[in-house]
Amino acid sequence: MSDVFKLMGVYAKTTAKSWFQYRVDAVLKSLAVFLREATGIIVIWFTLLKFDQLNGWDIYEMLFLFSLLFLTYGIMIIFFTGLRDFGRTVRDGSFDRFLLRPRGLLFQIIFVNSDWFAAIGHGGLGITLFLISAGKVGIQWNLAHAVYYLFAVAGGVLIQGAVFLVLAALNIYLLETNSLKELLYWNMRKFAGYPISIFHKAIQFIMIYVMPFAFVNYFPAQYLLRKSDMAQYPEIFLYLTPAVGIGMYLLAYLFWRFSIRYYKSSGN
């Protein structure tokens, strides 16, 4: 086990060095990601200054909702960059190198690369939004709430990681899944920035049962905020984020193990 952790450390050190070899460029790229994502938040800020609330959610409650979305993605992409970009790895034939190494395939894919610019940009924005909003939304922070928050973040990371793992497995059959990724992840993530109660029932169903972004930020935020629109959903949803994350990841892993048997090299 010690050699596994040692190898993880080597991968992390090597990856960090490659991403930050040009420090000024790295800082500017991370800042660019931060500002790009923050632009949408600024638009919402000015919109709610005029309209005051969105289905009962004020500006600070919305920022708290967004903070969970950005923070979980920032953490997730540290570990799952290889899965996000797995289609390119399959298409250019570089995945074949992993097959020859005496380590698990998924272990190598997860630890061989990390998008530190996205991690810092998204994660930094999530932390910033949390610091701005957490003291203004009426949450009585205590040990129970802090523990819940940490488990909710972990669950949100696993939910998104599971989506990328499924999409990575599909690359074995389809080679190219960027359109699926855009449809199933990036477009649905745009909905997740808002209270799902404002959307049509069909969108709510997808956000809860198909692509469960609601468990990434909406239901964890509801546990802490207890907004009135939660009344239309079962209360048990408030506690399910870690279970949904673990369950989704295990199912995604089984699908990955099944799919990898059908991998055929695409050349380079």
pLDDT of amino acid 261: 86
Over range 107-114, report the average pLDDT: 82
| Domain contains 83 | yes
| Domain contains 267 | no
Over range 95-101, report the average pLDDT: 78
| Domain contains 89 | yes
Residue holding tokens 């000024």? Answer: 24
| Domain contains 111 | yes
For the chain, how many structural domains are there in total?
Answer: 1
| Domain contains 266 | no
pLDDT of amino acid 110: 83
Burial class (CB in 10 A: 0-12, 13-18, 19+), 225: middle
- In this prediction, residue 222 has a pLDDT band, given cuts at 50, 70 and 90, of very high
| Domain contains 100 | yes
| Domain contains 57 | yes
Q: CA-to-CA distance for 44 and 82, rounded, in angstroms? A: 32
Residue holding tokens 């800020």? Answer: 45
pLDDT tens across 34-93, in order? 988 888 888 888 877 777 788 889 889 999 999 999 999 999 999 898 888 888 888 877
pLDDT of amino acid 23: 76
Domain that holds residue 170: 2-260
